[in-house]
Amino acid sequence: MNIKIQGTRIELTPDIKEYVEKKLEAVHKLVDQRDESVLYEVEVGKMTEHHEKGDVYKAEVHLRKKGGNLYATAHAEDVFAAIDKIKDEISHALSSDKEKKETLLRKGQMKIKSLLKRLSW
């Protein structure tokens, strides 16, 4: 699992890096374990310097893997809350990507089966 973490307008502390790695370990279980080319590009930081209220922090993750790339972003009032949200969003994106591929495979299998039935008559 390759992770590139970048901080924007904040200092990346070891606690933040460790927290990101811990959250991405859970996400990595949803990815094909044999694919060694998986790359997580994570950006964590403040949206702007002048914010005092509201969603100040953002987290973005760009997951590069065989078969396509996935991207998710989240905003929160705390760095760790933004990381939690991003973990949930990228996990959801991975599961729906997997379901979409399985659905397309099943549709293809059903078409082949119907063609074989027609040929056997």
What whole-number distance in Å separates Cα of residue 100 and Cα of residue 67?
A: 12
Q: What is the mean pLDDT of the segment spanning 59-86? A: 93
> Does 111 score more than 70 pLDDT?
yes
What are the extents of the domains in the chain? 2-120
Question: Which pTM was predicted?
Answer: 0.80
Q: Would you place residue 64 in the very low, low, confident or very high pLDDT band (cuts 50, 70, 90)?
A: very high
Q: What's the CATH number for 2-120?
A: 3.30.160.100
Higher pLDDT among residues 106 and 60, named by residue: 60
User: How far is CA 23 from each of CA 20, 26, 53, 81, 85, rounded to the nearest angstrom?
Assistant: 5, 6, 26, 11, 10
Q: Would you place residue 102 in the very low, low, confident or very high pLDDT band (cuts 50, 70, 90)?
A: confident
